[in-house]
Structure 1
């Protein structure tokens, strides 16, 4: 089992959000989204998915664009989200030497000027190891068709 080690409060809470209240900053790979939809439909009568990680102040998706679009296309009226303190220094947008700044991510979402798919790959920097994919902060949610 893996666990993250950090002292600051990163997770602000869980909530069910209407899809129209969630902002995206990236396009998705349509084939990947279609495959995810097919997979989720195969799990009927309910699905269990990692929650979408969003900024607690703006509702911009930090991680989970494909899950978000798949759930929206499947008609779910509430999307499971984990609210994160996106301004925290332990959250980074990518492992590249020159990652996209968080302010730019938010700006693209607010302006509806979507970045290309996988422009960001958010990670969490814990105090005891290398950066880890931020999806590890997600909780699992059960959705019923």
Structure 2
């Protein structure tokens, strides 16, 4: 495999929770169930996907809510660009490309889009993590 064909790496980094900006509303009962699972595991296992320039959450709004409720200072994240060729951004239930500017505006303004408005998918498998909750306080 040539370097041009190499599969990109997406490192997991710890970001301050307060730095992250949501762009969509969540299903709170589902998020509360997720909190219980995270606490039972005692660790954070799935990084939040974050747009690298504005710290807007791409995927992981429920996990962000969990981090806030658990009063974590940091959370594992993967930083991405909307220009990443492996990233597909569509609307749920509609294969049309989502308007990225609307997502960014929602995150910057705090005027959140409805629950499950957009879908962010990567064509590669992302790394998981296993970070003890105590390390994120």
TM-score in same-fold range (> 0.5): yes
Count of residue correspondences: 129
Provide the C-alpha distance between the structure 2 equivalents of 1:7 and 1:68, rounded to a whole number of angstroms: 33
Q: Which residue of 2 is the match for residue 137 of structure 1?
A: 126
Q: Which residue of 1 is the match for residue 14 of structure 2?
A: 16
**Residue 9 of structure 1: CA displacement?**
7.8
Q: Which residue of 1 is the match for residue 104 of structure 2?
A: 106
Provide the C-alpha distance between the structure 1 equivalents of 2:111 and 2:127, rounded to a whole number of angstroms: 26
TM-score, normalised to structure 1, is 0.77
C-alpha RMSD of the superposition? 2.3
Q: Which protein has the bigger helix share?
A: 2
TM-score, normalised to structure 2, is 0.81
Once the two structures are superposed, residues 42-75 of structure 1 have per-residue CA deviations (whole angstroms, 9 ceiling, x without a partner) of 22xx213211110111111111111111122111
Runs of 5+ unmatched residues, structure 1: 1-5, 127-135
Question: Given that residues 10 and 126 in structure 2 are in contact (C-alpha distance below 8 angstroms), is that contact kept between their aligned partners in structure 1?
Answer: no
**Are residues 91 and 8 of structure 1, via their aligned partners in 2, closer, same or farther at CA, if it must alter by over 3 Å?**
farther
Match of 1:137, SS? coil
Q: Which residue of 2 is the match for residue 67 of structure 1?
A: 63
